[in-house]
A and B are shown apart, each in its own frame.
Chain A
Amino acid sequence: MTGFERHVTFSAWAFLAPALLLIGVFFFLPVLAALLLSFTDFDIYALGDLDRLRFIGLDNYRQLLQSSLFWTALGNTFYFVIVGGPLSVAVSLGAALLVNARLIRFPGLFRTAFFLPVVTTLVAVAVVWRYLYHPRYGLLNYGLSLLGVEPIDWLGDPDWAMPAMILMAVWKNFGFNMIIFIAGLQNIPTQLYEAARIDGADAWAQFRHITLPLLGPTFLFVALMTMIGYFQVFAEPYVMTQGGPANRTLSIVLLMYEEGFRWWNMGYASAAAFVLFVLILAGTMLQLKLRRRESL
């Protein structure tokens, strides 16, 4: 290494140092601490006196895998991700196509209106939706009664609580992905559509052969972010149902929160956090791999 190179390397490190330091202290260190914590039974007793802390190796993980509550939470979370994720992406794409269509007047108005739920506080949204979902006075059941459908106890019926949660989450979140899709759509050169039209392609063929392939990278980004976000579902069940009825809306993060901050079982909660991390990592890798194979 020449002196000059060394000098440049040093400068680079000097510039990176503040950011690295912050990430190290506020991210990697806590994550490492949590990993260590997940091998202990850190709880309220240990908080009072560290002498009462036990290193229990993989016991937390073993207990987690044996706990029916964890599997319930895992099942609920997958339900939410697998049904809610694609639905959310589809609705976002649909909304983006509509808002971006040239026939629409005031696209700015619609963009803003569809984006509003994203920036609204979830607690306020939840209060309103709780009324919409009310079995006896709710607007939703009123609408259904006009169609002759029996009233549904949206948040109280164990079978309907999760669909209700997904419906609200999709409504709340689709605006964000819509904006990203709109940006993706606007990046597609109009000449391609013109050329396709000259070749006699109808709207569906244009969508299938131009819009979708060219939205590929946007799609990947949106799908990944949505999946990661949906895996971490917490606020919706926390505010709306507290995980009920009969734990049908208990998500992994909610379970983690309860174990960690309500019961102060930090070791166990950390173990749950790492399991979730591995799941999200696996999900992300899988999507990237699928996408890569597709583009080959």
Chain B
Amino acid sequence: MINFKGWVNCRYTIIMFSLFRLLLIVFIALWLTGCDSPADRPVIVEFWAMGQEGEQVKALLPEFERRHPGLRVRTQQIPWSAAHEKLLTAYAGDAMPDVFQLGNTWIPEFVALRAIEPLDERLKGWPVAALNDYFPGILATNRLEGQTWALPWYVDTRLFFYRRDLLAAVGFTEPPATWDDWLQAMARLKTLDGAERYAILLPINEWQLPVILALQHGATLLRDRDQYGDFQHPRFREAFIFYLSLFEQGLAPPVGHAQVANLYQEFANGYFATYVSGPWNIGEFRRRLPTALQGQWMTAPLPEFDSHSASHPPAGQEPRVGASLAGGASLTLSRTSPRQEAAWKLLEYLAEPEQQAQFYQLTGDLPARQSAWNDPALASNRYAQAFRQQLQHVQPTPPIPEWERIASRIAYYAELAVRQEINVDEALAALDRDVDRILEKRRWLLKREASR
């Protein structure tokens, strides 16, 4: 049997001693920092940004700190894949940064969480022209419940990337301007010789194209103040059938992202001739496509859906651009930040057209402010011009926190329908049923609010 008591006594002394030492260190540290007068110490603004933006934005900050000598910015870079989770955990743990980047489809969620600060009071100091400088469809995604919650930082939307040489080979030297012409071009592309080839790549586990087509058809997706799904509506149905027909006619291969091992290689060897994607692929296509192909690809805005009138626009008239998604990322202030004034200065600084233009040069991200597009570097990027046109025709998805979840259900049922495991009616009915269940909490909240 060990001498338990003696052991405890000995331990006790050691513990007391180390506790005392710890206290001493704390006191000394407090005393030392106390000597520093608070006025000398810069205010540190905590800033979280995702992916390469988080890395590149650091280059813009020395100028900000030069202009505001009392402010320092501490940037933390978060990978996109972990960003949503990390922000929510930070919110739950009361460890939010002062300023942070937010994908604009996440804004409704953070508004519902009451995690971000409304900006309208502060925006009153802005000239009207500055707000009008934003792409209107994009700014709309940052407005909710009559308030502006975030400022767009960079924008994205989806449009055609296509092989010019292949399209020319089937008789289209210019990109088709209507869906009818695109269908014709695609049908011809499919018949070109060579190995297995398709006219267009639409990864079947994506929700974006079905939703874009639905928006172009004027479908609202949800109904009654976004409380119920509205996917059996004739307009959505029509768009959905059009989407499925691209697979039924063999124009698009029924494959998901995982089966296209290397997108760029496949685009280069003509496995598919068109692809609907976003601005990040401008840089990727430039970097990854072989040099021989560099002059042979281009971007084009999505055409408008118009089954009623003649498919060709009258001569001399600009081809009409159809709707696409209002994507991108915004910058927001944390509601609980004790340094909101300093944080707002950073937000204003990053919103300046000059900084936006410079940010484009650093990252290739398209600026949210239209005046920044006149910067020579961007004005001379011929791939970006289609985006500029397209960005005038963007529509937001329903501004509710449940949207991403609903979108994933759309992708799921679209995939089942493409694989012909269920038919259109079954898919849309199931979609409505699932979405109604997802929105149950929202209905309860709205009802409760109304009764109060």
Residues of chain A touching chain B, judged by Cβ–Cβ distance below 8 Å, are 7, 11, 41, 43-45, 47-49, 52, 54, 63, 130-131, 134-135, 137, 153, 155-156, 158, 240-242, 244-247, 261-264
Contact = CB atoms under 8 A, between A and B. Distances in A.
B205 interface: yes
6 contacts: A7-B4, A44-B401, A47-B88, A54-B444, A130-B261, A241-B258
Q: Is the interface of B mostly helix, strand, loop or mixed?
A: helix
A263 B405 contact: yes
Interface in B152-182: none
A244 B113 contact: no
Given A41-B441, A245-B415, A155 B114 contact: no
Given A44-B113, A48-B115, A153-B259, A244 B205 contact: yes
CB-based closest 6 A-B pairs: A48-B113, A156-B259, A48-B114, A263-B405, A134-B261, A155-B258
Interface of B: 4, 84-85, 88, 91-92, 109, 112-115, 205, 255-256, 258-259, 261, 401, 404-405, 412, 415-416, 419, 421, 437, 441, 444-445
Contact of A52 (B258, B404, B445): B445
Contact of A137 (B205, B261, B419): B261
A261 B441 contact: no
Contacts of A247: 412
A130 B92 contact: no
Given A44-B109, A261-B85, A156 B255 contact: yes
A246 B258 contact: no
Contacts of A54: 444
Nearest to A134: B261
Contacts of B401: 44-45
A156 B421 CA distance: 14
A78 B419 CA distance: 24
Most buried by A among B114, B256, B444: B256
A245 B256 contact: yes
A45 B441 contact: yes
B112 A44 contact: yes
Contacts of A137: 261
A43 B441 contact: yes
A246 B419 contact: yes
Contacts of B437: 63
A84 B405 CA distance: 31
A244 B109 contact: no
A137 B269 CA distance: 14
Contact of A47 (B113, B258, B421, B441): B113
Nearest to B114: A48
A135 B4 CA distance: 69
Contacts of B416: 246
Contacts of B112: 44-45, 48
A256 to B, nearest CB: 14
A89 B385 CA distance: 59
Given A45-B445, A48-B114, A131-B261, A11 B4 contact: yes
A240 B281 CA distance: 23
A47 B91 contact: yes
A117 to B, nearest CB: 21
A221 B132 CA distance: 69
A246 B421 contact: yes
Contacts of A244: 205, 256, 258, 415
Contact of B258 (A44, A130, A262): A130
B428 to A, nearest CB: 16
B149 to A, nearest CB: 14
A135 to B, nearest CB: 6
Nearest to A131: B261
A9 B92 CA distance: 42
Given A45-B112, A264-B88, 9 more contacts: A44-B88, A45-B441, A48-B115, A134-B259, A156-B256, A240-B258, A244-B256, A245-B256, A245-B419
B390 to A, nearest CB: 28
Nearest to A265: B405
A39 B320 CA distance: 53
A245 B444 CA distance: 34
B398 to A, nearest CB: 15
Contacts of A153: 259
